[in-house]
Amino acid sequence: MEVMNDWATASAEATSPAGASLLRVTVWRGGADGKFQEFRVPRRESQTVLDVVTYIQRNVDPTLAYRFACRVGMCGSCAMTVNGVPRWTCRMHVDRVAIAGRLEIAPLANMPVVRDLVADMREFFDKWARAKGRFKPSATRTDDFAKVSPQSRPRREADAGIECIGCGVCYAACDIVKWNRDYLGPAALNRAWTLVNDMRDAGSRERLVAVSGDAGCHGCHTLGSCTELCPKSLSPTRSIAGLKRATCAIAFGGEEGGE
Amino acid sequence: MSVRTEARLWLAQRVTAAILAVCVVVHLITIIYAVRGGLSAGDILGRTRGSIAWGSFYAVFVFAAAIHAAIGLRTVAAEWLRFRGAAAAWTMIAIALVLAFMGLRAVFAVVAT
C-alpha cells in the first residue's frame, strides 16, 4: 500500500506541467441519480482529503455540498467514500489514499444521498436509539458518586469502545448493513456494549433484548471491515462478540425476548 | 421470529460448529489411518458393522451437520436472496430433515448387521 502510494504521488508530480502538481479529483454531484464531475486541484504538502473538497468549494464550484465541523478528528461529520473506501476526510492525507494522482470522492455508502457528498445519517443514528444506546441512570443526584475501578474488566471493556465519534465509516463499510436493512450496524452495537459494561447503568435488560437477533449482534458474521477501517482504531467486532456472549441468557430463557 | 429463537439458533450454530470441528478431525484421521493398508468395502464394513461406537459417532455427526447447514443456509437465503419469514423457516426445517434422513440412512447402511 505504501509503495503504491509513493508511486502515486510521484506520478502526480511528474504529470504536472508547471511545477505545481495537480490532483485529478472526481466528485459525486447530485442525489442518488447523480454522476461524477471531474476537478483539477493543486497538490499541497500534508494535504488532507477535506482540504481537497474545501478547495473545490471555495475556488471552483461554491455549490458543492459537503459536511464538516471540527477538522481535527473529533466530531465525526466529514466521513466520505474516498477511492471506494469509507474514510474520515479531515485527517486522511491525500498521500495515503490517492492512486496515481487521482481521487474519487463520493458520499458514504449504505445511507441515502442528500446531495453531492452529504449522506443522510438519520437511520444510522435512529439505530443507536433502537439499540438503546442511551444511558439509563440507576442512581439519583442524592446518591454518592459511583466508584468504578479503572482496572475492573467492565471498565476496561467500556474504555475499549467509548471513543467512537459516530462518523459512520463502520456502517458504510459493513456488508451486513447492505444485505439486511434492519441490521443495527457496528457503531450502534458498539455503543450498546459500552453501556452494558457501565455499572451505573440500569437499562441492560431491555438493551440486551434490543440488540439480539438477526438485526442485532447475532447478524454479525465477523467480517471485520468495521474494525479495519475505524478511524479511531476501535474494534466493533470485539464489542459485538461481547454482546453475543452477554445475550446467551436470552437463548436459555433467562430474559424476556419479544418480537 | 422472536429474539429468543434467533438467539437460540445462533447458539445452536456455534455448538454444532464445535461438534463438527471434532467430528471432522476424527473422521479425517480415521480415513488416513484406514487407507494405509489399502481400502476395501470389506475393511470398512468390518470396522463399522454392529459397532455402537461408530454408529453413535456418525449419528451425532449427521445431526450436527443437518442443524448447522440448515441454519447457515437460512442466513445465506435471507441476506443474498432476501428469502425470509415463515416460508424460509419451513424450508430450513425441511432441509434439516432431508439431510438428517439421508445421513442416518447412510449410517444405518454401514452399521446394521
pTM equals 0.86
Q: Which residues are within 8 A (CB) of B87 and not within 5 positions of it... i.e. 6 or more apart? A: none
**Cell numbers standing for residue A198:** 457501565
Question: Average per-residue pLDDT in chain A?
Answer: 91
pLDDT of the residue at B113: 79
**Cβ within 8 Å, pair B3-A213:** yes
pLDDT of the residue at A254: 56
CA angle A184–A188–A189, rounded 5-degree value: 80
Write down how long chain B is: 113
CA distance A82 to A103: 7
**Cβ within 8 Å, pair A253-B3:** no
Least confident of A2-6, A39-43, A78-82, A170-174: A2-6
CA trace torsion A239, A125, A109, A82 (10° rounding): -80
DSSP A19: S
User: Could you report how far apart the first and last alpha carbons of chain A are, in Å?
Assistant: 46
Q: Judge whether A207 and A243 are in contact, CB under 8 Å.
A: no
Q: Judge whether B3 and A182 are in contact, CB under 8 Å.
A: no
Chain A residues in contact with B83 by the CB 8 A cut-off are none
**Cβ within 8 Å, pair A213-B11:** no
ipTM of this predicted structure: 0.80
Chain B residues in contact with A214 by the CB 8 A cut-off are 1, 6, 75, 78
CA distance A107 to A87: 10
**Cβ within 8 Å, pair A180-B11:** no
Q: Which of A176, A218, A255 sits opposite B6 (nearest CB)?
A: A218
Classify A97 as helix, strand or coil: helix
**Cell numbers standing for residue A162:** 467509548
Q: Judge whether A42 and A22 are in contact, CB under 8 Å.
A: yes
Q: Which of A176, A180, A250 sits opposite B7 (nearest CB)?
A: A250
**Cβ within 8 Å, pair B3-A248:** no
pLDDT of the residue at A58: 97
How far is B45 from chain A, CA to nearest CA, in Å? 40
Among B8, B10, B76, most A C-beta atoms within 10 A, so best to mutate, is: B10
* Single-letter amino acid code for the residue at A177: V
pLDDT of the residue at A53: 98
**Cβ within 8 Å, pair B2-A250:** no
> Do the bridges between strand A80-82 and strand A85-87 make them parallel or antiparallel, or are there none, so unpaired?
antiparallel
Condensed to tens digits (0 to 9), the pLDDT of residues B3-23 reads: 888 899 999 999 999 999 999
Of A182, A179, A186, A167, nearest in space to A224 by CA: A186
Could you identify the residue written with the cell 442524592?
A142
Q: Which of A176, A216, A257 sits opposite B4 (nearest CB)?
A: A257
Q: Tell me: pLDDT of B89 over 70.
A: yes
Q: Which of B1, B7, B78 sits opposite A251 (nearest CB)?
A: B7
pLDDT of the residue at A5: 42
Per-position b or e across B38-74, b if 16+ CB within 10 A of its CB: eeeeeeeeeebeeeeebbebbbbbbbbbbbbbbbebb
How far is A247 from chain B, CA to nearest CA, in Å? 7
**Cβ within 8 Å, pair B79-A176:** yes
- Give me the total of CB pairs closer than 8 Å, taking one residue from chain A and one from chain B: 48
Of B4, B111, B6, B95, nearest in space to B57 by CA: B111
Could you identify the residue written with the cell 476395501?
B40
Other CB atoms within a 10 A radius of the CB of residue A231 amount to 19
Least confident of A27-36, A187-196, A229-238, B6-15: B6-15
Own/partner contacts of A133-139, CB < 8 Å, gap of 24 or more, are A133/A188, A133/A191, A133/A192, A133/A195, A134/A203, A135/A195, A135/A198, A135/A200, A135/A201, A135/A203, A136/A201, A136/A202, A136/A203, A137/A200, A137/A201, A137/A202, A138/A200, A138/A201, A138/A202, A139/A200
Q: Judge whether A174 and A185 are in contact, CB under 8 Å.
A: yes
**Cβ within 8 Å, pair B3-A180:** no
